[in-house]
Amino acid sequence: MIQTKNNQLYIEGLSFKDLADQYGTPLYIYDQAALEKRMETYYNTFTSPLFETKVLYASKAFLCKAMVKLAQKHSLCLDVVSGGELYIAKQAGFNMDRVYFHGNNKTEAELRQAIDYGVHTIVLDNLDEAKRLVRLSQNSTKPIHALLRINPGIEAHTHAYIVTAHIDSKFGILKSEIDTIETIIQTCDEADNVIFDGFHAHIGSQIFDPKAFIAEIETMAEFIATLQKKMERTFSVLDLGGGFAAYYTQEDAPIPIETICPLIVNTCEAMQEKYSLSLKEILIEPGRSIVAEAGYSLYTIGSIKKTPHKQYAFVDGGMSDNIRPALYQAAYRSDLVEKMDQEKKETYCIAGKCCESGDILIERASLPLAEENDLLVVYTTGAYGYSMASNYNALCIPAIVFVKDGQSKLVVRRQCFEDLIEKDMEDPV
């Protein structure tokens, strides 16, 4: 929880200033209590008398061993999309029977790794991959579950959603490609070690409109009903993906978890009845919505520079620790953590230190008068910040600190210069 006292900003009882002194900047700070609260809320509100329910944390939003351990502690399942993410989950001791492996091009090595680790479910993307899985599963000691990713033709981004959009998406099989879908299911059904459970869809990210999820469920239910009749076979699992929005700026009004979860459950229950489906289990995969608002980026301002039309505040990080503004004009709020009571009468362009004109974190930030050495916090940076961080300009990736009940823990150390050449091997020939 965030609090202001005597001009200073605090998180879980610790001042940002003290955190900067102890761990340095730039720094990723996570409110552990907030992370846990959101996981608990998902777990407690995504329940149904009719279905088994599972909440999968989409680990690509923010992944490190400490985060995996929190997900395990709060009984979530984990969604991974690469051998690397799977490795991190394994190294953190995550129960592999709760892991779902996504991705549009899982390599042979990744599928072997998943089978070897005993991953619960592979979410298949296409026919080649289904055949690959069937071949590799032949030597497996236990059966592996499979879902198929369907492109329902619904695309939702931020405030709008479109039906019959994005038919050329690289993800999944378009719901109208019935022959291919049947072939994939038959390929799995004929294998001894693959159990085909049902379908997965994921319609976008930062979705505000509950109607988008309702449209997704209705479309998937109708699709499953058609296939059920055609193949004379039932399907037990429907995985609805993630995309639940987070609060970044005053313009954002995300649907509360307590509202969207029952709405999804009720819609699934109604569709089960309407289409005489035989679903036993429904799944959701929140990523951003669990971690975004629990994360904060703390920077030190190095210089203020005035140009004819702008006033810049330069920070000691930038697109290397948060590429979202450069990548898709993501907007953020910020504060000077030691000037909380001062009037915000200046406007700054918050720019990083990378050699790119696009290296801007906030285009127009309202702040009190800023000076060299002021500490700047950027809010809601918990999702797709660290996980998309890079070593551009050989900047070191910041440390990650978790805070809770007045205590702080360094869960990922800051990169050091030695890390930057650790992989370099031989001199040129």
Ligand X SMILES: *Cc1c(COP(=O)(O)O)cnc(C)c1O
Beta partners for residue 180, in sequence order: none
Task: Give Cα 416 to chain centroid, integer Å.
Answer: 26
Determine whether 261 is an active site residue.
no
356 is in an annotated binding site: yes
The C-alpha R_g of the chain, in whole angstroms, comes to 23
Q: Tokens 């031989």 sit at which residue?
A: 426
Which residues have CB under 8 Å from 121's CB, separation 6+? 99, 100, 101, 144, 145, 146, 147, 197
Among residues 216 and 285, whose Cβ is nearest to ligand X?
285
In the complex, the smallest distance separating the C-beta of residue 255 from ligand X, rounded to whole angstroms, is 12
In the complex, the smallest distance separating the C-beta of residue 127 from ligand X, rounded to whole angstroms, is 19
Among residues 38 and 60, whose Cβ is nearest to ligand X?
60
Among residues 211 and 305, whose Cβ is nearest to ligand X?
211
Beta partners for residue 150, in sequence order: 173
118 is in an annotated binding site: no
Annotated catalytic residue: which of 354, 355, 396, 416? 355
Among residues 102 and 353, whose Cβ is nearest to ligand X?
102
- Over the chain, what HEC string results? CEEEECCEEEECCEEHHHHHHHHCCCEEEEEHHHHHHHHHHHHHHCCCCCCEEEEEEEHHHCCCHHHHHHHHHCCCEEEECCHHHHHHHHHCCCCHHHEEECCCCCCHHHHHHHHHHCCCEEEECCHHHHHHHHHHHCCCCCCEEEEEEEECCEEEECCEEEECCCCCCCCCEECCCHHHHHHHHHHHHHCCCEEEEEEECCCEECECCHHHHHHHHHHHHHHHHHHHHHHCCCCCEEECCCCECCCCCCCCCCCCHHHHHHHHHHHHHHHHHHCCCCCCEEEECCCHHHHCCCEEEEEEEEEEEEECCEEEEEECCCCCCCCHHHHHCCCCCEEECCCCCCCCCEEEEEECCCCCCCCEEEEEEEECCCCCCCEEEEECCCCCCHHHCCCHHHCCCCEEEEEECCEEEEEECCCCHHHHHCCCCCCCC
Among residues 213 and 223, whose Cβ is nearest to ligand X?
213
Question: Are the C-beta atoms of 145 and 124 separated by less than 8 Å?
Answer: no
In the complex, the smallest distance separating the C-beta of residue 204 from ligand X, rounded to whole angstroms, is 7
In the complex, the smallest distance separating the C-beta of residue 79 from ligand X, rounded to whole angstroms, is 6
Among residues 208 and 314, whose Cβ is nearest to ligand X?
208
In the complex, the smallest distance separating the C-beta of residue 246 from ligand X, rounded to whole angstroms, is 9
218 is in an annotated binding site: no
Among residues 191 and 201, whose Cβ is nearest to ligand X?
201
**Crossing angle for the helix pair 108-117 and 83-91, nearest 10 degrees?**
20
Q: Which residue is nearest to ligand X (CB)?
A: 287
Judged by the rule CB under 6 A, the positions of this chain that interact with ligand X are: 58, 60-61, 79, 102, 202, 205, 241-244, 285-289
324 is in an annotated binding site: yes
In the complex, the smallest distance separating the C-beta of residue 242 from ligand X, rounded to whole angstroms, is 3
Which residues have CB under 8 Å from 219's CB, separation 6+? 152, 153, 154, 163, 175
Among residues 170 and 230, whose Cβ is nearest to ligand X?
170
In the complex, the smallest distance separating the C-beta of residue 293 from ligand X, rounded to whole angstroms, is 12
In the complex, the smallest distance separating the C-beta of residue 399 from ligand X, rounded to whole angstroms, is 23
418 is in an annotated binding site: no
Tokens of 234: 């039932």
Q: Residues annotated as binding site?
A: 243, 285-288, 324, 328, 356, 384
Q: Residues annotated as binding site for substrate?
A: 288, 324, 328, 356, 384
Q: Which residues are catalytic?
A: 355
Q: Residues annotated as binding site for pyridoxal 5'-phosphate?
A: 243, 285-288, 384
